[in-house]
Amino acid sequence: MADVNLDLKGLKCPLPALKTEKTLASLQPGDRLTVECTDPMAAIDIPHLLQKTGDRLVTTEHGEGRLVFRIEKV
């Protein structure tokens, strides 16, 4: 199982979702991805992306002007 961190702070919509999707495609089932971003639209885009891919959103953290998503590849 791999743990991958993706720093997308400063990127604007749609880049956080697109880069998250590309990274998820390279992972194996059971791998975990942590995505950090500052674009408020990611709060909508990332969960929507995960509905499409079927991967699991483990946790979401909001605070200090950033969003952190912890995702498990299914």
What tokens were used for 66?
A: 């950033």
Instruction: Return the CATH number of 3-72, one of 3.30.565.10, 3.40.50.1820, 3.30.110.40, 3.40.50.300.
Output: 3.30.110.40
pLDDT at 1: 86
Chain mean pLDDT for the chain: 97
Q: State the average pLDDT over residues 2-29.
A: 98
Active site residues: 13
DSSP H stretches of helix in the chain:
15-25, 42-53
User: pTM, whole model, 2 decimals?
Assistant: 0.95
Which DSSP category does 27 fall into? S
For the stretch 32-48, pLDDT in tens is: 999 999 999 999 999 99
* Closest among 55, 24, 25, 60 to 44, alpha carbons compared: 60
